[in-house]
Amino acid sequence: MAPPRHMTSEDPFPAKTPGKLRLYGMHYSPYAMRVRLMLEKKGVDHEVININLRSKPQWFLDKYPVATVPVIEQDDKLLGGSLVICEYIDEVYSKEGERTLSADPYEKGRTNMLIHDKFGKAISSVYKRIGWEQNWEEDFFMHFGELDKELGEKKYFAGGDEPTFVDYMIWPWMRIVGPDCEIDDVLSTGKLPNLERWIEDMKKDETVKACHTSPDVLKKCCDAYRTGIHVYDLELNQST
């Protein structure tokens, strides 16, 4: 099923359903995908309003002047920022004992350090890789080597048998450099064996499968990043 089309400056504000959570996103944004993964994981009834980031509706700018996605809204509550939103969803919609982010302050802090510090640097090297920037390999394998070392022999980053918060928060970028993106599969070189294994395990996860984007669409998104010409509604265009 194709995602909702991306609304532009010409589109009127879509009426809200009282009590229903709404996600304002961009379907190909890895930051918005973080939220889609968490909503799927927690089985949250919601609707998606995709925003064309090159032609944002004025009502979206009035609602959230920061003008970035993702944003969630439910009645009079509004939150922006992928990590803020995902932590909120995990806390509000998890059943007892089913949190993906540890409630222990120290463990939560360690998770956030990993996401912000080590993976934050890795994200930067992903974009250098996509853009074929000079010396991208040195930077890429240095930062991803740190992640590979962090993972070690653990199945998932938190050490359990199921993906947790950190795995879902980094997946949207890892899928880009993994074997399904059809770029050149930099994670199947044998240099990062732990991450290779992790990617194969993540691909089997039901939440990840439910939020899957086809390899040809991912490739077009990466091509668009290189050219600076953003693409929208690729699935809709394919179906017409």
Neighbours of 208 (CB within 10 A): 21
Terminal C-alpha separation, the chain: 13
What are the tens digits of pLDDT across the range 43-62?
999 999 999 999 999 999 99
Domain limits, CATH 1.20.1050.10, in the chain: 105-204
Domain limits, CATH 3.40.30.10, in the chain: 6-97+229-239
* Rg of the chain over all Cα atoms, to the nearest angstrom: 18
Torsions phi, psi for 19 (to 5 deg): 85, -15
- Rounded CA-CA distance 87/101 in Å is 7
- Rounded CA-CA distance 221/147 in Å is 24
Query: Which CATH architecture fits 105-204?
Result: Up-down Bundle (1.20)
Query: Which CATH architecture fits 6-97+229-239?
Result: 3-Layer(aba) Sandwich (3.40)
What are the tens digits of pLDDT across the range 49-108?
999 999 999 999 999 999 999 999 999 999 999 999 999 999 999 999 999 999 899 999
Q: What's the pTM value of the predicted model, to 2 decimals?
A: 0.93
